[in-house]
Amino acid sequence: MKQKADVLQGTLALMVLKTLDVLGPLHGYGIARRIEQISGDLLAVNQGTLYPVLLKLEQEGAIASEWGASENNRRARFYRLTREGRKQLQVETQDWEQTAAIIARFFEVKTEDLP
Amino acid sequence: MRALRRFLNRVINLARRREQDERLREEIEEHIALQATENLRTGLSPVEARRQAMLKFGGVEAMKQDYRAERGLLFIENLLGDLRNAGRTIRRMPGLAAVIIVSLAIGIGVNTTIFSWIQMILFQPLPGVSGASNFLLVEPRTETGGYPGASWLEYRALRTQVPALRDIVAFQVVPFNVERQARLSGRSGNSSQAIIFLLWG
């Protein structure tokens, strides 16, 4: 159970970084909406799980945050990607693509393909 | 590097807990408000819109726990909380607290005294002396019970010819006076005693 949560948190962090990279500064709700639109049900039930991930990324220096005004004209915390976060995104994207490619190859292989 | 930065931030956050709690509270509120506005647009009633928004956000308390675990050093935060709680309890019941503190102090004091005494008497009888039972007094006696003493030659012979004794120290009784603030007291001691006095100050 815990392991699944860790994996989820890892992918979520990558999605946050990519979202901020594409869309620029966003508040928590904006990020959640965007992830929801693209990933479907990952955040459908627990949008709240995003906030510990945002905090972790901020503590690591990958993103920074400051107060701004939301569409409701209320105070909201806006997150943006830092230079370090952009670097981290590049590295993690490569890692992720590599892992995904390896796993995909494993799934593709059938018994008759093996020598 | 990332881990170090994260750790430093956690330490800093220890001092900013209230401010950070407030920030999270505001963020949650704003998140739910935005989601509720969105839900209103789809035709839900205001109450239902807010309810749906809260459902979608998920368990707030569980998330706050995760958030706090990520933010700071939970062990230290809990420790500080316990200390504050202890302080409050002491203030509320000072009499009981005083009885407990005094009992503990007496218990610790008595134990320390007894164990220091045992340490001193049983385990380390004299500072710098190990194996006090190895000390022997070699003394010539006459048949009539007198103490004739030993000559320098006898001392030298014992020193060189009795290998069982690791070392021999001779002493001679010399009368001397100890004077302290013009009060005289006659003492007869020996020179090694005089040395011990010097050593002991």
Distances in Å between the alpha carbon of B10 and those of A25, A54, B81? 24, 14, 17
- In tens, the pLDDT along B82-105 reads 899 989 988 999 899 899 999 999
Facing residue for B34 by CB, picked from A56, A59, A72: A72
* Two structure tokens written together for B119: 């340490």
Q: What is the pLDDT of residue A88?
A: 92
Strand (E) or helix (H) holding B177: strand B173-180
Residue A33's CB is within 10 A of a number of other CB atoms, namely 18
Hey, are the CB atoms on B9 and A49 less than 8 Å from each other?
no
Average pLDDT, stretch B139-165? 82
Q: pLDDT class for A62, splitting at 50, 70, 90? A: very high
The DSSP 8-state label assigned to residue B119 in this structure reads I
Task: Kindly list the residues from chain A whose CB atom is less than 8 angstroms away from the CB atom of residue B70.
Answer: 52, 55-56, 59
* Assembly ipTM: 0.79
CA distance B58 to chain A (A): 4
Task: Kindly list the residues from chain A whose CB atom is less than 8 angstroms away from the CB atom of residue B39.
Answer: none
CB pairs under 8 A between A and B: 80
Global pTM?
0.58
Average pLDDT, stretch B19-25? 86
